[in-house]
Amino acid sequence: MVKAASFANVWFSFCRKHDIEPRNLNSYFDATGDLTKNKRQQDFMKDRRKVKREHHEFKVRINGLSDSIQRRSKAFNA
């Protein structure tokens, strides 16, 4: 939950700063077209790279969570 809240803070701050609508994360990164339209190019691209990197790291952590839980459970029950 802490990791999700931390990422949500990064994502929603980016959305507010750059007027991103809708705020659906997957739709945004899957979208085609000019994402820089009406944006301050350099600042926007820097922030977008940061959010994309944070999103990737968040997905890796979430996807690895079930393995981590299983390992901890086995160690606890051993």
3-state secondary structure the chain: CHHHHHHHHHHHHHHHHHCCCCCCHHHHHHCCCCCCCCCCHHHHHHHHHHHHHHHHHHHHHHHCHHHHHHHHHHHHHC
Confidence band, pLDDT 50/70/90 cuts, at residue 37 = low
Condensed to tens digits (0 to 9), the pLDDT of residues 9-26 reads: 999 999 999 888 878 888
pTM of the model: 0.68
Going by C-alpha positions, the residue among 51, 55, 54 that lies closest to residue 20 is: 51
d(CA 11, CA 58): 11
Condensed to tens digits (0 to 9), the pLDDT of residues 51-72 reads: 989 999 888 888 887 777 788 8
